[in-house]
Amino acid sequence: MLVYHLPGTFETREAHLDLLWEAGATGLEERAGLIRAYFDARSDLHADIADGEWREEVEQDWQAEFRRTLRPVKAGRLTIVPPWLTREVEAGQLPLIIEPGMAFGTGHHATTRMAVEALSELDLTGLRVLDVGTGSGVLAIAAALLGAEHALGVDIDPITIPIARENAEINSVPAGRSRFEEGSLGLDHADWQDEPSDVLVANLYAELHDLLAGEYAAQLRAGGPLILTGILTNKLPLVREALDREGFEAVQVREDGEWVLLTARAPAAR
Ligand SMILES: C[S@@+](CC[C@H](N)C(=O)[O-])C[C@H]1O[C@@H](n2cnc3c(N)ncnc32)[C@H](O)[C@@H]1O
């Protein structure tokens, strides 16, 4: 498969899009800050667009197969779908469009689905939601679609940030209602950590929840809902103890196979 890689977006490269089509592109795709133009044969593009690059990519059958077998995933009031299946979203359900790619969070993992369900049960209208370990941005975007005034997604893996931003754009989340930043809780240089959160959701893993439980309590407003998942059933006691230690209340447990989701309320007074 022959692909011409061009840094930028459809917007910043508007002047070059016609040139790509005229040069024989069979398709254009914008992904994570890169335009990918598909070609059957090389052309003299470098003369017109000097900063692009030709790449021969191996078409991975498993990828095509994975895309073919993807189905919409219903999670509370939302249905998580890839962009080509939006027409399959049932009436009354809100589509949450996620381009399957390099970041975790297509909705096909039980933990993502349970977290979207838990968010969907809350009235998020006018609230500030923090998503720690945002991956594809799926949970922050879900919060924004469910009415949150502001959804902030943070992740220690920098590759996730442009992907999450792009997914927010695909879902037409209005500018200023979502933000994605590299980072985490408990780091010194957390310059995004400017305001307390009304709701905090984190799909990480049990040992990290144990480490971060104090940060969750400090970041959340008193009584604010906490949603934690990524927890294997045998690690549940570790997270429960951490929440008890930090004074979280109304702890509830849900299970799906080997995975657990916990909901709780931040301590009333700290
Ligand atoms: C299981 S994925 C969850 C993705 C998405 N939120 C979802 O629910 O599908 C966990 C994400 O957390 C990120 N992560 C791991 N450790 C982290 C940390 N200490 N702080 C913030 N993000 C972290 C990973 O890079 C990964 O993108």
pLDDT digits (tens, 9 = 90+) for 230-254: 999 999 999 999 999 999 999 999 9
* 211 dihedral zone (left: phi>0; alpha: psi -120 to 50; beta): alpha
Q: Provide the mean pLDDT of the chain.
A: 92
Tell me how far the alpha carbon of residue 186 lies from the centroid of ligand 1, in angstroms.
15
Tokens of 94: 């809100």
Tell me how far the alpha carbon of residue 56 lies from the centroid of ligand 1, in angstroms.
31
The ligand 1 atom at the shortest distance from the C-alpha of residue 103 is 27
How far apart are the C-alpha atoms of 178 and 151, rounded to whole Å? 5
Nearest residue to 30 via CA among 163, 220, 228? 163
The ligand 1 atom at the shortest distance from the C-alpha of residue 208 is 19
How far apart are the C-alpha atoms of 143 and 127, rounded to whole Å? 9
Sheet containing strand 34-39, strands side by side: 27-31, 34-39, 2-7, 53-56
Higher pLDDT, 141 or 30: 141
pLDDT digits (tens, 9 = 90+) for 20-66: 998 998 888 888 788 999 999 998 887 888 889 999 987 766 767 77
Q: What value does the mean pLDDT take over residues 160-178?
A: 94
> Any idea of the CA torsion for 112, 115, 120, 121, to the nearest 10 degrees?
150
Which residue's CA is minimally distant from atom 9 of ligand 1? 105
Which residue's CA is minimally distant from atom 19 of ligand 1? 184
Using CA atoms, how far residue 219 sits from 64, 85, 106, 184, in Å, is 41, 37, 27, 12
The domains of the chain, with CATH numbers, are 2-59 (3.30.70.1170), 66-265 (3.40.50.150)
The ligand 1 atom at the shortest distance from the C-alpha of residue 155 is 22
Question: What three-state secondary structure class fits 73?
Answer: strand
Ligand 1: residue of 73, 134, 159, 207 to mutate (most ligand atoms within 8 A of CB) is 134
Residue 15 has pLDDT above 60, yes or no: yes
**pLDDT band for position 198 (50/70/90)?**
very high
Tell me how far the alpha carbon of residue 5 lies from the centroid of ligand 1, in angstroms.
28
Tokens 């297509």 correspond to what residue? Answer: 106
Nearest residue to 96 via CA among 178, 174, 179, 168? 168
Q: What spatial distance separates the first Cα and last Cα of the chain, rounded to whole Å?
A: 58
Question: What three-state secondary structure class fits 28?
Answer: strand
Ligand 1 in reach of 104 Cβ (< 6 A): yes
Contacts of 237 (CB under 8 A, 6+ apart): none
**pLDDT band for position 114 (50/70/90)?**
very high
**pLDDT band for position 189 (50/70/90)?**
low
pLDDT digits (tens, 9 = 90+) for 143-153: 999 999 999 99
